[in-house]
A and B are shown apart, each in its own frame.
Chain A
């Protein structure tokens, strides 16, 4: 479905990602983890075909992403960007409907099928009560849900999300991940950059860790979510214990283990 081979890319000729090999099969639900600045956003942009590769390349459904027309590419993969701000003057419904841009007709119009897709996406992302509000008046968490709705409206084959739940409070975060899990059960490939290790381990059967622009670890959550691996990647003391309800591995920080600890002594 989505495949990166020997992928190096970056900005202004300087590589941020080095030699990434990655294959996401149809129907997978994977999380992208790693410290700040490890290249998570860059990898997602490259997989979505928005950042040209310096070396190697990305394939979507077996076709090189660099050769795909923009609209076709957008029908294959939908994105939820990080740090987006709502444009002034658009209602939530209008914003979500823009997800259908790649399917709009020659005159740029949206037909009944586009309207129906927008309504379904609004309903699935629990945004129906926001539909008439101005997007610029939403709270950060509400706007994140709207972006998720727009991605669903765009297409449900493959979803790439960049920290899509960071702005949400706890209940909304669980709700968003429940929604992603439900979409995944319906067949969507979901690949999401997450800051919260435990949320990733709780929901995603596969984890991919980036460190300094390289894939440091890639495998089933149960196998690679270990104390030794996490200590290695995050360079701080981390303990892993099973989740009291599901038994999924969960990471716990240890106070005093930070690099500044000796100073605090």
Chain B
């Protein structure tokens, strides 16, 4: 009896330790994110020291009481860089949450807005909007509010197509073979990028605007882009976070999830919708940025385990961090102020990582 009481005590302490580690990790990530925002606002072709940057940011927030900051510095730090950093942050967080949700729902570690063709669908939807003149590209001509909605419609259509293709033989979504799903994603992505090329050749005038926008870049993006996307992102994140416990249960597979009392079909539809909202909004304002949703949840899972109540917030923070620093890299590696598209940076990191995951089939997670 005493022995049992002691084991229970130990168990309680162990449990506290595990929860403590997760809280600590979240706190560290949150602090790193705050520090990164300040640092990233200071880096670039017009460098500012962290102290100057912080003063400029505080002044913009109305919290700085000392001598006013050099106005040109304030413009660069706040209006140009902070806008980019904020957009990169919310885009990275959205893509990472969406990736975690896609992977959880489909029980497939290779699933991600990019590999599933959802980003391609969103890009196609947005291209159509730009070409038809409903909405302007990065310049936000026309009615820009239509851009995220069109991207979302494209994302949902592409997702439906990919899932329909890969479950041609029937059966629940959680039992798809992971290679089949990725293959269907590649097929649909390729098809959609051909369609986008077609659109581009139909209208020479819009080409530069589409190419510039689709590559995945934060160049020239401002606060108005973030303002456009955040309601969709917030709604998508809300849906996914609210259903974090369902993602855990879904990872057990269709039968067990239902045994435990989950209406698996409805839950999956909601989660896929939430993840599509996140990806569609991200693509609408930032273009196609691959691999963030693939790499980030995987890294977090290695450190904190698969429990989605820890995985989702940690992925959001790490995704924001990753994209903020990728963007800093993208705008500072080339000489004379030239920029790489940030999608190139994430693909350079994510491509090899994807190969690693593919090679580890059978030894890791995914379909049992």
Which residues from B are CB-within-8-Å of A122? Answer: 11
CA distance A90 to B256 in the complex (A): 15
Residues B236-275 near A (CB distance < 8 A): 242-246, 248-249, 251-253, 255-256, 258-263
Which residues from A are CB-within-8-Å of B255? Answer: 45, 50, 81
Q: Does A109 reach chain B (CB closer than 8 Å)?
A: yes
Interface string of A38-74 (1 = CB under 8 A from B): 0000000100101000000000000000000111111
Do B364 and A101 have beta carbons less than 8 Å apart?
A: no
Do B306 and A101 have beta carbons less than 8 Å apart?
A: no
Which residues from A are CB-within-8-Å of B7? Answer: 128-129
Which residues from B are CB-within-8-Å of A132? Answer: 11, 14, 18
Do B242 and A79 have beta carbons less than 8 Å apart?
A: no
Q: Which of B18, B245, B301, B305 contacts A104 (CB 8 A)?
A: B245
B12 nearest CB neighbor, chain A only:
A119
CA distance A48 to B368 in the complex (A): 23
Q: Does A87 reach chain B (CB closer than 8 Å)?
A: yes
Interface string of A72-84 (1 = CB under 8 A from B): 1111001101001
Do A119 and B249 have beta carbons less than 8 Å apart?
A: no
Do B259 and A89 have beta carbons less than 8 Å apart?
A: no
Do B260 and A154 have beta carbons less than 8 Å apart?
A: yes
Q: Known contacts being A73-B261, A98-B248, A107-B242, is A119 close to B18, with CB within 8 Å?
A: no
CA distance A134 to B301 in the complex (A): 13
Do A89 and B305 have beta carbons less than 8 Å apart?
A: yes
Do B256 and A81 have beta carbons less than 8 Å apart?
A: yes
Which residues from A are CB-within-8-Å of B11? Answer: 93, 119, 122, 128, 131-132
Closest-CB distance, A138 to chain B (whole angstroms): 14
Q: Does B8 reach chain A (CB closer than 8 Å)?
A: yes
Q: Known contacts being A108-B243, A123-B4, is A87 close to B306, with CB within 8 Å?
A: yes
CA distance A104 to B259 in the complex (A): 15
Closest-CB distance, B367 to chain A (whole angstroms): 9
Q: Does A102 reach chain B (CB closer than 8 Å)?
A: yes
Closest-CB distance, B107 to chain A (whole angstroms): 8
Closest-CB distance, B128 to chain A (whole angstroms): 37
Q: Which of B252, B306, B365 contacts A84 (CB 8 A)?
A: B252
Q: Does B64 reach chain A (CB closer than 8 Å)?
A: no
Do B305 and A101 have beta carbons less than 8 Å apart?
A: no
Do B261 and A90 have beta carbons less than 8 Å apart?
A: no
Q: Does A19 reach chain B (CB closer than 8 Å)?
A: no
Interface residues on B, range: 35 or more
Q: Does A157 reach chain B (CB closer than 8 Å)?
A: no
Q: Does B231 reach chain A (CB closer than 8 Å)?
A: no
CA distance A201 to B254 in the complex (A): 33
Do B242 and A108 have beta carbons less than 8 Å apart?
A: yes
Q: How many residues of A contact B (CB 8 A)?
A: 40
Q: Known contacts being A91-B305, A108-B243, A128-B11, is A70 close to B258, with CB within 8 Å?
A: yes
Q: Does A99 reach chain B (CB closer than 8 Å)?
A: yes
Q: Does B164 reach chain A (CB closer than 8 Å)?
A: no
Residues B305-359 near A (CB distance < 8 A): 305-307, 309
B265 nearest CB neighbor, chain A only:
A70
Closest-CB distance, A243 to chain B (whole angstroms): 31
CA distance A65 to B242 in the complex (A): 27
Q: Does A175 reach chain B (CB closer than 8 Å)?
A: no
Q: Does A237 reach chain B (CB closer than 8 Å)?
A: no
Q: Does A85 reach chain B (CB closer than 8 Å)?
A: yes
**Interface centre among A75, A94, A154, by most B CB within 10 Å?**
A94
Q: Known contacts being A81-B259, A129-B7, is A87 close to B365, with CB within 8 Å?
A: yes
Which residues from A are CB-within-8-Å of B243? Answer: 108
CA distance A87 to B256 in the complex (A): 11
Q: Does A255 reach chain B (CB closer than 8 Å)?
A: no
Q: Does A88 reach chain B (CB closer than 8 Å)?
A: yes
CA distance A71 to B242 in the complex (A): 17
Q: Which of A50, A90, A123 contacts B258 (CB 8 A)?
A: A50
Do B245 and A108 have beta carbons less than 8 Å apart?
A: yes
Which residues from B are CB-within-8-Å of A101? Answer: 245-246, 249, 260-262
Do A79 and B18 have beta carbons less than 8 Å apart?
A: no
B4 nearest CB neighbor, chain A only:
A123
Do B262 and A70 have beta carbons less than 8 Å apart?
A: yes
Q: Known contacts being A87-B251, A90-B306, A91-B18, is A119 close to B261, with CB within 8 Å?
A: no
Residues A82-127 near B (CB distance < 8 A): 84-85, 87-91, 93-94, 98-99, 101-102, 104, 107-110, 119, 122-123
Q: Which of A50, A69, A90, A131 contacts B259 (CB 8 A)?
A: A50
Do B256 and A74 have beta carbons less than 8 Å apart?
A: no
Closest-CB distance, A86 to chain B (whole angstroms): 8
Instruction: Kindly list the 10 A-B residue pairs having the minimum CB-CB distance in the complex, ordered from nearest.
Output: A89-B306, A74-B261, A108-B245, A102-B261, A85-B368, A88-B365, A71-B261, A87-B251, A79-B259, A101-B260
Supply 21 A–B pairs (Cβ within 8 Å), ascending by A. A69-B263, A70-B262, A71-B261, A74-B259, A81-B256, A89-B251, A89-B305, A89-B365, A91-B305, A93-B11, A94-B248, A98-B249, A101-B262, A107-B242, A108-B244, A108-B245, A119-B8, A119-B11, A123-B8, A128-B7, A134-B305
Interface set of B (CB-CB < 8 Å, partner A): 4, 7-8, 11-12, 14-15, 18, 242-246, 248-249, 251-253, 255-256, 258-263, 301, 305-307, 309, 364-366, 368
9 new A-B pairs (CB below 8 Å) besides A94-B248, A108-B242, A119-B11?
A48-B259, A70-B258, A70-B262, A71-B261, A89-B301, A91-B305, A109-B245, A110-B245, A132-B11
